[in-house]
């Protein structure tokens, strides 16, 4: 399934606002927070751990919008979200969004006793299971390895019911800066 790319920060903010009533599973049997709360928590954790990397923070905010775009596609939700935001937020943000599932597979393969939420543990199988040693080595050598792992760790931690974090509107300037940086890069930096 394909989606129209998100064309503006206003449109993205509208989509994120709509995620307040959307859960990672259509029947709400998955994670205990909705997609908006989850994204806000992940972005807040990334702002604390990677304060100078607004692209990774933006990726954390939007990484699960694929659940809203294509409900029920657990294996593909990262790709759906990446495709939707790439034109607006750039290839690095899209790559990080897409990598949040492979990063889970990497950590499952390389960290014995990795603590995943019950829903993340359940979906690991339909997402390919733990990586093989060859897959893990290739992933570790790929671009943005450290940022992808930071996003994944924040993803696993950002599922706290009732946690108070910055409101969505406070992320608008970050999204605007990331979008403007991508637009400048696309126009040759002029």
Give me the average pLDDT of each 10-residue run along the chain (190 residues): 81 96 85 95 98 98 95 89 97 97 96 86 90 97 96 95 96 98 76
Host H or E run for residue 67:
helix 66-69
* DSSP per position, 16-46: HHHGGG--SSTTS-S-SS-HHHHHHHHHHHH
Give the C-alpha separation, 86 to 95, whole Å: 8
pLDDT the model gives residue 33: 94
pLDDT the model gives residue 154: 96
pLDDT the model gives residue 3: 66
pLDDT the model gives residue 140: 97
pLDDT the model gives residue 190: 42
Residue recorded with tokens 């450290």: 146
pLDDT the model gives residue 27: 82
* DSSP per position, 113-139: T----HHHHHHHTTTT-SPPHHHHHHH
pLDDT the model gives residue 188: 61
**Token duo for residue 17:** 């606002």
Between CA 85 and CA 95, with CA 90 as vertex, the angle to 5 degrees is 75
Q: Is 72 exposed, middle or buried (0-12, 13-18, 19+ CB in 10 A)?
A: exposed
**Token duo for residue 164:** 């108070």
């Amino acid at each position: 399934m394909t989606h129209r790319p998100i064309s503006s920060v206003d449109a993205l903010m509208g989509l994120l606002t709509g995620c307040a009533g959307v859960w990672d599973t259509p029947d709400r049997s998955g994670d205990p927070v909705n997609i908006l709360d989850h994204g806000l928590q992940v972005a807040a954790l990334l702002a604390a751990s990677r304060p100078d990397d607004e692209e990774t923070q933006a990726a954390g905010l939007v990484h699960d919008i694929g659940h809203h775009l294509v409900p029920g596609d657990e294996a593909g939700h990262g790709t759906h979200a990446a495709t939707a935001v790439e034109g607006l937020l750039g290839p690095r943000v899209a790559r990080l969004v897409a990598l949040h599932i492979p990063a889970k597979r990497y950590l499952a393969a390389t960290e014995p006793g990795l603590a995943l939420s019950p829903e993340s543990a359940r979906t690991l199988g339909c997402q390919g299971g733990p990586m093989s040693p060859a897959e893990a080595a290739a992933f570790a050598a790929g671009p943005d390895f450290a940022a992808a792992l930071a996003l994944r760790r924040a993803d696993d931690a950002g599922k706290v019911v009732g946690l108070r974090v910055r409101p969505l509107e406070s992320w608008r300037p970050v999204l605007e800066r990331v979008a403007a940086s991508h637009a400048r890069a696309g126009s040759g930096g002029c």
